[in-house]
């Protein structure tokens, strides 16, 4: 795996569980992404609007604003449409796929997740967009 391929790309990670947030941050930092973290929905939304990251990974169950509310708020802001969104949740095993499609969320990862699986899916998602600097695998 490369550690420097995505330095210019910012990813916002939001989860109220600090351990999980740190884990994801570590995983993605290793790939060279600039990772910004938040522990509630409102902070996450501000970060996304301010930083306009290429990707936001949002936990569904968060205080203040939950993941769905953040998604809805983002989708109503034209300047944030470029940001891709991955939801992850411990709520159920693959249950919210319909909602995911409805909300135009780009991917959905169930907790507990395998770190390898997570990084793979992040890379896949960003690579589909034709990122020339493919550092995956």
Contacts with other proteins by CB under 8 A lie at 17, 19-20, 23, 26-27, 61, 90-95, 111-116
Residue nearer to other proteins on the CB measure, 33 or 74: 33
Residue nearer to other proteins on the CB measure, 79 or 93: 93
At closest approach, how far in Å is the CB of 56 from other proteins? 18
Rg of the chain over Cα atoms, rounded to whole angstroms, equals 14
* DSSP conformational letter for 123: H
Residue nearer to other proteins on the CB measure, 10 or 119: 119
For residue 86, what are the β-bridge partners? 57, 107
For residue 36, what are the β-bridge partners? 12
At closest approach, how far in Å is the CB of 95 from other proteins? 8
At closest approach, how far in Å is the CB of 137 from other proteins? 14
Q: Are 30 and 53 in contact (CB under 8 A)?
A: no
At closest approach, how far in Å is the CB of 50 from other proteins? 28
Residue nearer to other proteins on the CB measure, 75 or 91: 91
Q: What is the DSSP string of 27-75?
A: HHHHTT-EEEEESSHHHHHHHHHHH--SEEEEESS-SSS-HHHHHHHHH
């Amino acid at each position: 795996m490369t550690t420097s391929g995505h330095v210019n790309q910012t990813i916002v990670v939001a989860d109220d569980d600090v351990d999980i947030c740190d884990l994801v941050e570590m995983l993605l930092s290793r790939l060279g992404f600039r990772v910004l973290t938040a522990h509630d929905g409102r902070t996450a939304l501000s970060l996304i609007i301010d930083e306009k990251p290429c990707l936001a990974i949002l936990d569904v169950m968060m205080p203040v604003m939950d993941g769905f509310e953040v998604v809805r708020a983002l989708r109503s802001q034209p300047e944030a449409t470029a940001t891709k969104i991955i939801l992850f949740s411990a709520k159920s095993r693959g249950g919210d796929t319909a909602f995911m499609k409805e909300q135009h969320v780009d991917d959905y990862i169930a907790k507990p997740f395998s770190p390898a699986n997570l990084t793979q899916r992040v890379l896949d998602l960003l690579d589909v967009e034709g990122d020339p600097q493919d550092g995956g695998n």
